[in-house]
Amino acid sequence: MRLDAKAKHPTPAPGLPGSANTAQNQQSGSYFLHAGQVHVSSQPQSIVLILGSCVAVCLWDPVKAIGGATHYLLPSWDGRGTASPRYGTVAIETLLQRLSEAGAKREQLVAKVFGGGCLFDSMRGNEARKESLGERNVETAMAILAKEHIPVVSAEVGKERGQRIVFQTATGESLVANL
């Protein structure tokens, strides 16, 4: 597998100096995607994510070999405060926009969805709220992808353990390890 570390839209980790984090990722050929971030690459690159109740939506254009991912914490932005990729509705739209800017064609995109787990009993739904946070995060991803007519070719969601995902931007290949 060939990896090239040049990222078109690097997004530094919150709290870390952007240049140091980006330089580290470029040297290793991989990009660690923190919660609340979006990353797209027009060069072959690995995107690494650690998920629990958060969801990762990985999209790629197999014809142009351009891919990217988002890692979000909450299903939807309620309009208060700042719109941020911490929210699925904002994150997926941002991912689609950045893929388009990188040269991907929306009609060629395919998706993989990961995460949405329920790792702790206290996070499970109750009588008032039937679904866990993870389930609501997954529903948001699936609804937006269906609305955008982007086929989901793989979904590994709703586990009772965390997941470590390695997503290849050029091929769409993914490696999933349960934690």
CA torsion through residues 115, 60, 48, 20, sign: negative
Output the DSSP codes for 3-50: -----SB--PPTTS-HHHHHHHHHHHTEEE--TTEEEEESS--EEEEE
Per annotation, catalytic residue among 54, 56, 111, 118: 54
Tokens 């091929």, residue located: 171
In the chain, the amino acid numbered 108 is: Q
Residue 58 a catalytic site member: no
Structure token digits, residue 12: 């530094």
Output the DSSP codes for 61-105: ETTTTEEEEEEESBS---SSS---TTBHHHHHHHHHHHHHHTT--
Q: Which residues are catalytic?
A: 54
